[in-house]
Structure 1
Amino acid sequence: MLTGKQKRFLRSQAHHLNPIFQVGKGGVNENMIKQISEALEVRELIKVSILQNCEEDKDTVANALVEGTDAELVQVIGNTIVLYKESSEHKEIILP
């Protein structure tokens, strides 16, 4: 569980990132969760964009990604979700 200070730090780190995944009409599936988990292991902090044609609510998508990838939800802003998961091999981000 992240503290408020840690979330604020991660939000500042994620500000310059571009979304590397998009959730569209198909919603969240097993393949997407697997790819996002692999990306989190390498990058630790990623943004996921939710397209307008996505039938699910953004909070539902965020919860599905958090549960599937075992990551921490940093922020949902607009149609963008920021996820963080500490990497076991490629640890670069040091939380305050």
Structure 2
Amino acid sequence: MPQIELTPAERREQRAQAHHLDPVVHIGADGLTDGVRKEVDAALNAHGLIKIRVLAGERAERELMYQQLAAELNAAPVQHIGKLLVLWRPQPVKERAIDEDRMPGPKTVKVVKNSQRGGQRPEIKMLRVLGNQRLTPGGQIKRAKKRKPTSVKKRQAD
């Protein structure tokens, strides 16, 4: 598989995003094994942009690993600085099965009511709000009202 080529502007943007990342894969003394390749591939699928730390080897060996990973995993080499390698690959689109019968699940909401008298602890309640319910500003649970159909004039205005 050929590796992805980035323009200098895209590479600069990816380097900026990778600056705050921690390494997710560490390559030890054994070098580039099949297990390491699988982990790098899984990390690229999960995150898209990853840092890899190489714990052993000379600069030439690390550069070779960097280029091999980019070529084998169809990734873009973003940066190689010291013992850190940065690779990027667009994340695959996750397909979700759409279930039309599925409704929103219940949510647990924390309601805090301050005491009317100062200095007393607020009253804290944990309420469970179902999909067809709403929470009022006063902390009460009400059933959601059905929407009325819009008037003919409003439909024509849209």
In the alignment, structure 2 segments of 5+ residues that lack a partner are 95-158
Q: What SS class does the counterpart of residue 57 from structure 1 fall into?
A: helix
Match of 1:72 among 61, 72, 76: 76
Cα deviations across residues 23-78 of structure 1 (Å, max 9, x unaligned)?
A: 11100011211111111011000000010x33671101101211221111000011
User: What residue in structure 2 maps to residue 81 of structure 1?
Assistant: 85
Q: Pick the structure with greater CA Rg.
A: 2
User: What residue in structure 1 maps to residue 108 of structure 2?
Assistant: none
Match of 2:16 among 1, 12, 31: 12
User: What residue in structure 2 maps to residue 48 of structure 1?
Assistant: 52
1:47–1:82 contact (8 Å) kept in structure 2: yes
Scaled by the length of structure 1, the TM-score of the pair is 0.85
What percentage of residue pairs aligned between the two structures are identical? Answer: 31
| 4+ residue runs over 4 A deviation | none
Measured in 2, the distance between the counterparts of 1:66 and 1:34 equals 13
2:48–2:91 contact (8 Å) kept in structure 1: yes
Per residue, is there more helix in 1 or in 2?
1
Scaled by the length of structure 2, the TM-score of the pair is 0.53
Q: How many residue pairs were aligned?
A: 89
Per residue, is there more strand in 1 or in 2?
2
2:24–2:43 contact (8 Å) kept in structure 1: no
